[in-house]
Amino acid sequence: MTEDQYPDFGYSYQLLIKQLLLAPAVRSPDQEIVYRDQRRFTYRQFHSRVVQLANALTSAGIGKGDAVAVMDWDSHRYLECFFAIPMLGAILQTVNIRLSSEQVLYTLNHARPRLLLVNTEFLPLLKEIGQRLESIEEVILIVDDSDSRSEAPKPSREYEGWLASQGSHFDYPDFNENATATTFYTTGTTGLPKAVYFTHRQLVLHTLATLATYGTAAVQGRLHQADVYMPITPMFHVHAWGLPYAATTLGLKQVYPGRYTPEMLLELKKREAVTFSHCVPTILHMLLSHPASKDVDMQGWKIITGGSALPVGLATAAEERGIDIFCGYGMSETGPLSTIAHLAPSGERNAKRDIATRITAGRPVILVEVRTVDGSMNDVPRDGVSGGEVVLRSPWLTQGYRGDAEGSKKLWEGGYLHTGDIGILGEDGYLRLVDRLKDIIKTGGEWVSSLDVENIISRHPAVSEVAVIGVNSDRWGERPMALIVLRPDVEAPTSENIKAYMAAAVADGTISKFGVPDEVRFVELLPKTSVGKLDKKLMRDQFTAAD
């Protein structure tokens, strides 16, 4: 017998976003979805509103393959768009509203949405670029309680009224699971924003793997049906790491905080008893150092950080507050979940070793293949020492950059997605990131990880934030420079104090002597990218130019 496909009489089940709603519809109809201090909905209402939005979009002429752009802070409306737009067969464009107006314009003209849903807070930006928008036929205004709709462009309608006038029934169509569901733009530090995109199949598989991975964690950091979820990475940024899809699939209570302010986030954490969140390290730092955080019991709050390295000092500070802190690794191109630093179940716990594990990139998620390779795609040893570029396969990676065949081919060279990160795989299965391929400091024939140096300096009691960059050196090629934001409440150290502080790390072999910065500068602020990462490109430009 040489027949590998048996006959098919059944329903051809495509993996579509609509199916993520099957279980919660039955399990959690009365569970809540909360928006700031302004609105509360049950899942029953959420389902009705998604139906109304689907009807509204359809009546606006939106159908299969049409893009619809959204500009909003994290909200119940965004969650409705996460479902209704792709469930129609249309494509949700999540607009990064932290980009410059010119970049927003570029991404809108590139994705060519027919409809734009926009929070009135962004009308000034829209006014600036409105004349040059090429594809948008209609604008739907999202009006927060705190705002008015004075400067509305024409033609426009208001979201709540638009929904209210719609019918309460909609048959979501079946279609091919490889239809694109979402698109957004990733901005490196150079070049134009690049369009990544994800299919229904990819988002459903990402959701399943997220639940399977977070759910089965043995020691800490597990997601379960009694959790209360609040995102603190924006929904416009890689679907808030896919957690809104996962939380909805589980039927969790969800809390959407709108624009991130430490006061509101802390207030919501407290009032709604939030148990599961995710953020970049800078936001974690902001939350912990805010005066209002003193009044918030953070015991047991599970927080995943990602986007950039979590300094051990910040992780320790979070743990001292009772936060169950751990890292994940991924990027816009990877959907994003790739590895997660749950503690392994074996053996006795050791606080110091555990925190060192929690700040690694973690171990591969189910179905993810992680390799570290040299320039010829040969694996470097998984010995905890050898570094190589992290390359990936998983079922939910962007299949390219839309409209950029050359960039797409480069991204996928050799059949693996190239992350541009240098990592070390250990025998324990954990991935440790060394640096971005472009941020690593090449000094005197050695490679020094800017992250390692930052990690050491971050432990100094006077240091609030630190960035380390390579600056040109005639003699050494590059040399590390440290840029430090000091704590206001601790006596300020000198450059020499910082260098002396690093001597211990050199002495115990944590870092080579070439890693000690020649220059230490104290600054008021560190430049960040639109998604809150240290903008080392800008720092290199500024501080190399300043020399």
Structure tokens at 134: 């090429």
CB atoms inside a 10 Å sphere around CB 471: 18
Structure tokens at 241: 């790491």
What residues numbered 114-143 form the site for a second copy, per CB under 8 A?
Answer: 114, 135
CB atoms inside a 10 Å sphere around CB 89: 21
From the list 69-77, 158-166, 390-398, 512-520, the region that binds a second copy by CB under 8 A is 390-398
What residues numbered 215-234 form the site for a second copy, per CB under 8 A?
Answer: 215-219, 222-226
From the list 146-154, 162-170, 205-213, 295-303, the region that binds a second copy by CB under 8 A is 205-213
What residues numbered 145-174 form the site for a second copy, per CB under 8 A?
Answer: none
Q: Which residue out of 80, 272, 333, 454 is catalytically annotated?
A: 333
The distance from CA 46 to its chain's CA centroid, rounded to whole angstroms, is 24
Choosing from 155, 191, 345, 375, the residue that interacts with a second copy (CB under 8 A) is: 345
Position 10 contacts a second copy (CB under 8 A): yes
- 400, 412 in Cβ contact below 8 A? yes
In the complex with a second copy, the residue whose CB is nearer, 139 or 204, is 204
Q: Which residue out of 32, 138, 158, 186 is catalytically annotated?
A: 186
Choosing from 126, 238, 250, 323, the residue that interacts with a second copy (CB under 8 A) is: 250
Q: Residue 141 corresponds to which amino acid?
A: L
- Residue 166 beta carbon to a second copy: minimum distance, rounded to whole angstroms: 23
Which helix or strand (DSSP H or E) is residue 54 part of? helix 43-59
Choosing from 58, 399, 473, 530, the residue that interacts with a second copy (CB under 8 A) is: 399
Annotated catalytic residue 447: yes
What residues numbered 465-484 form the site for a second copy, per CB under 8 A?
Answer: none
Please report the DSSP string for 235-273 in residue order: TTTHHHHTHHHHHHHHT-EEEE-BS--HHHHHHHHHHTT
Which helix or strand (DSSP H or E) is residue 190 part of? none
Question: Measured over all CA atoms, what is the biggest interatomic distance in the chain, rounded to whole angstroms?
Answer: 80
What is the bridge-based pairing of β-strands 138-142 and 115-119? parallel
From the list 76-84, 159-167, 393-401, 445-453, the region that binds a second copy by CB under 8 A is 393-401
Choosing from 38, 59, 63, 381, the residue that interacts with a second copy (CB under 8 A) is: 63
Give the E-state strand segments of 289-386 in sequence order.
302-305, 324-329, 339-340, 363-364, 369-373
3-class state of residue 92 by DSSP: strand
Tally the C-alpha atoms within 13 A of residue 375's C-alpha that lie toward its C-beta: 1
Q: CA-to-CA distance for 459 and 448, rounded, in angstroms? A: 18
- Residue 34 beta carbon to a second copy: minimum distance, rounded to whole angstroms: 17
Q: CA-to-CA distance for 17 and 202, rounded, in angstroms? A: 10
What residues numbered 74-103 form the site for a second copy, per CB under 8 A?
Answer: 89, 91
- 279, 260 in Cβ contact below 8 A? no
- Residue 415 beta carbon to a second copy: minimum distance, rounded to whole angstroms: 5
Structure tokens at 102: 């010119």
Position 60 contacts a second copy (CB under 8 A): no
In the complex with a second copy, the residue whose CB is nearer, 91 or 125, is 91
Annotated catalytic residue 333: yes
The structure tokens 């991130």 sit at 260
Choosing from 146, 169, 212, 500, the residue that interacts with a second copy (CB under 8 A) is: 212
Position 497 contacts a second copy (CB under 8 A): no
Position 255 contacts a second copy (CB under 8 A): no
Q: CA-to-CA distance for 417 and 408, rounded, in angstroms? A: 9
From the list 144-152, 366-374, 457-465, 499-507, the region that binds a second copy by CB under 8 A is 366-374
Q: Under rule CB under 8 A, how many of the chain's residues touch a second copy?
A: 85
Q: Which residue out of 137, 442, 494, 510 is catalytically annotated?
A: 442
Task: Provide φ and ψ at 95, rounded to 5°.
Answer: -90, 130
Site string (268-297) toward a second copy, x via CB under 8 A: ------------------------------
Annotated catalytic residue 241: no
In the complex with a second copy, the residue whose CB is nearer, 250 or 448, is 250
- 113, 69 in Cβ contact below 8 A? yes
- Residue 173 beta carbon to a second copy: minimum distance, rounded to whole angstroms: 11
Annotated catalytic residue 301: no
Active site residues: 186, 333, 442, 447
